[in-house]
Structure 1
Amino acid sequence: MAAGTLYTYPDNWRAFKAQIAAQYSGARLKVASNPPAFTFGQTNRSPAFISNFPLGKVPAYQGDDGFCLFESNAIAHYLSNDALRGATPQAAAQVLQWVSFADSEIIPPASAWVFPTLGIMQFNKQATEQAKEDVKKVLTVLNQHLTTRTFLVGERVSLADITVACSMVWLFKQVLEPSFRQPYPNVTRWFVTCVNQPQFKAVLGEVKLCEKMAQFDAKKFAEMQPKKETPAKKEKAAPEEEMDDCDAVLAAEPKAKDPFAHLPKSAFVMDEFKRKYSNEDTMTVALPHFWENFDREGYSIWYAQYKYPEELTLTFKSCNLITGETQQEWLISKLRLSTLCSEVPLVHRRWFCIVVVWPIYLKQTGQRLCPDWQIDYESYDWRKLDPESEECKTMVKEYFAWEGDFKHVGKAFNQGKIFK
């Protein structure tokens, strides 16, 4: 029978899996989650800990015989008995199926939805709405599976139930209010059955189901962020270090001129539009805001089309090109503050076409202003759009919503202007 220590921080749902498995199997498990036995952020960074667990992550298990394991699913599996793991090859495979299902289908949307309500992560409206839809899909699958079953695999609790239930604890506690879970009665019945088993309760305590869906709390999020220490004032300036030849050459170079220095300040605040675009609905909020505030005197809108589509016969090549172009925009702060580039790969037969709609604070493309911004400029054909035209309005809508007919591209396809 296994015996050892589980290192973790308090209330770590990933550690719950191993603890509950040990309750069922009878494995002797000590939990080190508080000082002096374990201090998260210190103990797991010590040389002794890293020598046994190279990633420094928790939960981590060390047996009394010196056997070490990291990764919560592996630890839970090791601490289980045959009944939990699946008594037959078929049952064992089904258990593994649901363990994988929890990792790939439940945890990502659950984290995106729940973490902002706990102050762990910044709120993003689109990500949260997508997470809700993904959780509905998960609940639908589980509800159908549990229509004629008490547990996920077989007639008794298995590691499948332990893993899936633990991955859903925070969903049920924080956001799955009665109206949301009402269409999935089999899932709620199963979850309540699991968490009320003595072995679950010994680890989780009393699990109270959510009565009202928790929302993002900006104040809580601010409190959770690490405080920045204000550096103490220096009483006396430290002596300057001697520069080597390389530093001396760099220091002697003339400072780059701000490419936007000669331009008047625009009333259109690009970052304000980006916040709308990132956190609110594109069609009903972001695009109306764009057109209501767009500065037609200061800004222009450009359509760009990649010149060499025959190079993009493989999907990863298109993805690399888009990623590189987007990184240039975001990494160069001056350009980032004045633009928002939307790039869409469009497929024709076996090739891709990269096309761009780019609002820019200039009457010319911003990449012409500075050599640092011209890396891919010549690889595109650029065309300035008329903001008053229906063509421009349609293209802005389609490219920023990432959906539509894209008729201008279809016309070019048919005329052989893109693919020859």
Structure 2
Amino acid sequence: MKVLTQYGNPEGNKIAVTAALVGASVEFNHDWQQRAKELAKQTFSQQAPIFEAPFGFFTHSTPVLKVLAQIHALYPADPVVIALVDEFLETSKDDLDRPVKLWLDMVFGTVPTDAEKLKKAQADVKKFLFIVEQRLKKSPYIVGNSLTIADISLACALTWAFRVVFDEKYRKPLPALCAWYAKVSGLPQFVSVWGPVKLAKVALEAPAPQAKVEPPPKPVAKKEEEKKAQPKHVDEDDEEKPAAKAVNPLDLLPPTTFELDEWKKLITNTKDRKSVMPNFWEKLDKAGWSAWFIHYEKAEGEGEKMVPFENLLDGFVQRMESIRRYSFGVMGIYGETPSLEIKGCLLWRGQEILQGLLDHPQFEYCKRVKADWENDNDRKRIEDYWGNVNDNDTVDGLVVQVIRFWK
């Protein structure tokens, strides 16, 4: 049985965690994106499925959870308990899963920020969580006194939020929810899929909404122009002035001769990426750009299994969205289990660490060393990180396992 989505997708991870709890075997299929259109024809909704089994394709996680857990205490035979679990799964899908996904999509920059929609999504999430808080004050689990797929579904839906937007202030009025989440997310089967969950210290904010471009004014008829020839006097103090548009400090740096977009296109469209590195060194504006070696400092238990570690890498890269216009590089997983490492090399505008990375909730756990443009060893390491991206290649003496090009 195969999960047809990327690591870190809550819907796919709900299935993977449930499978681990009941002893079923599932694997994440890496070619699902290439097969999406073909697979969509196999479903009722004509949408790309997230799960493939001998008995069919599924576009939603809930029926898969029920199939996997039907002979297990996670989905008890008691019809009353089944009804309560089903009721929660249906309710949380609309009242929590959708608004929390919209909130996170705006934070990660995968959808444009809409202030009104964001505010509503945040309010919907908080309202639902306070309802759950009251229930968990009376019961150790969502339904009754034992773990069910209702708990797995909710914990997976909230994991990215706990990592990114539920900071200490947000969590403070929800002690029962937090205690419950710590209990569920600490299960070995949950950790085997998600990895250890580091709670957000500071909430990551959605980028500011893009300014709306007003259409040009319609031409005014000649007679109307004559009527308006004598404008009324407006006191300068009373006149409303447009709000100043926020300027990124990086846009105020001295002009650079290095064209980042051209470089991204060149290296990503070249099979032998090392062959174009002379072009990079020739055109590099050393004063306007800096390169940094990044090494994630693992918590205990991290890096022992590929699935949760790749999940962690994808989350790290997603949260870099705010610096995309000003940066390039490679982040990847290197080494062998159970001693995998997340490392990389990033190029960015200016000589200091970008604010978008300082705001990144995982970046504080990373060692970062600035490359010396004149050091031959540093230049070789940059070329290795950006050029050695295939199976059996090595970087810093470690085998390449997973690569995420940041472009």
Pick 1 or 2: higher relative contact order, CA cutoff 8 A, min separation 6. Answer: 2
The structure number with the bigger radius of gyration is 1
Structure 1 length as normaliser, TM-score? 0.49
